[in-house]
Amino acid sequence: MLDETLLDAPDALAQADRRGLLRGAAEAGARVRTAARHAAEAGIADLTPEGRPRAVLVAGPGTPAAGVADLIGALAGASAPVVPLRPTGVAPAPGALRWALPGWAGSVDLLLLPTTDGSEPGLALLAEQAYRRGMTVVAVAPAASPLAEAVNGSRGLFVPLAMAPHESAVETAENLAASSGTLWSLFTPLLALLDRVGLVEAPPEVLEKVADRLDRTAERCGPALATYGNPAKTFAAELADSLPLVWTEGAAAGPVGRRFAAVLAELAGLPALAGELPEALTAHGVLLAGTYAAGADPDDFFRDRVDEPQALRARVVLLRDRPAGGLTAAPAARELALGHDTAVSELEPQEEGDDLETLAELLAVTDFAAVYLALASAGVTAPPASP
């Protein structure tokens, strides 16, 4: 159950935020600026690549690396395939994870290693394997980590992870891995790199605009603003006790919706499903008419349910980046949802801008909403630290 009174109590929110999640979301713009500076100091701005890579491979643990790979894939489009490398292992602990290069990967491909930890032996082994194949390797990880030594030793490019002055590498890895600030700390140096190799348009002036957009969005979504004027708090209140069906439309909205579903589960303990329109209408349509339908209750209406947990009911979340050309499946999505008495929440950018700025605003609002749900949901506590 969501304690909505907590949403409008900034001091209580701060007290409940033992993991610094709101601070991480609010600092996203600052992280972009710091990460861009780290990228420049590492020499990315001075690179003179001979051409585009054939493919971009991305390996790293957890939600942050998966989100980075998805976002890069959306922005790169048809310029080059982006291949996330999934880890194997017996546990999610850094020492238990292993990655492997596909057989076709070679000297014309680029390997990216974003991680908030840097102690994963599997990533160091992967960097060595890539070096033997002649691949270019670029890593973003905490400074002085074992991965930094491995990448530098294999003639790769290492960029130190941007962290706030008050934050240690251990805190980043254990507490803030799913936060918005950490995502941008990993994502920004790789954007600068991909701009240099011609896969993404992200020169310094664009990154500064992204940081400014994140700052403005944080002002609109911050804890001091009341729910009625705060899009993230409103979003959180609407999604409480529901099964969110996140339906996205547009290249930038797709990875944002998938990250939103992942962060809702990781931070707020709320299951969610993400799908892209128009395919989501078919993929999730039965959920609107089955057990999770708004009016689904096969038992006697008059039975006493005071002591029973509230059942999750589907709620459609339309997440759009304003598709070009006026061709949109949004009306069909609303019609399908409302035809099954299912509530609809909608989110789209409030400002004009390019794909990267649009993506930044959508990420910021959804990340803030997930944090508010995590803090105001009764019974949701921080997970134990990794061994």
pLDDT for 19:
84
98 contacts: CB under 8 Å, gap ≥ 6: 87, 88, 89, 122, 125
Identify whether the C-beta of residue 165 lies closer than 8 Å to the C-beta of residue 50. Answer: no
Percent of the chain at pLDDT > 70 equals 88
Rounded Cα distance between 367 and 359, Å, is 12
**Model confidence band, residue 322 (pLDDT cutoffs 50, 70, 90):** confident
Q: Is the peptide bond before 278 cis (omega within 30 degrees of 0)?
A: yes
How large is the average pLDDT for residues 157-178? Answer: 69
Rounded Cα distance between 235 and 227, Å, is 9
Least confident span in 74-88, 102-116, 294-308: 294-308
pLDDT for 289:
85
- Specify the length of the chain in residues: 387
Checking if the pLDDT of 131 tops 60, the result is yes
Query: In what order do the strands lie in the sheet containing 136-141?
Result: 82-85, 56-59, 110-114, 136-141, 157-160
pLDDT in tens, 29-58: 999 999 999 999 999 988 888 889 999 999
Please give the residue that has the higher pLDDT: either 215 or 352. Answer: 215
Identify whether the C-beta of residue 69 lies closer than 8 Å to the C-beta of residue 82. Answer: yes
Rounded Cα distance between 376 and 190, Å, is 34
Least confident span in 41-45, 215-219, 320-324: 320-324
335 C-beta neighbours (distance < 10 Å), count? 11
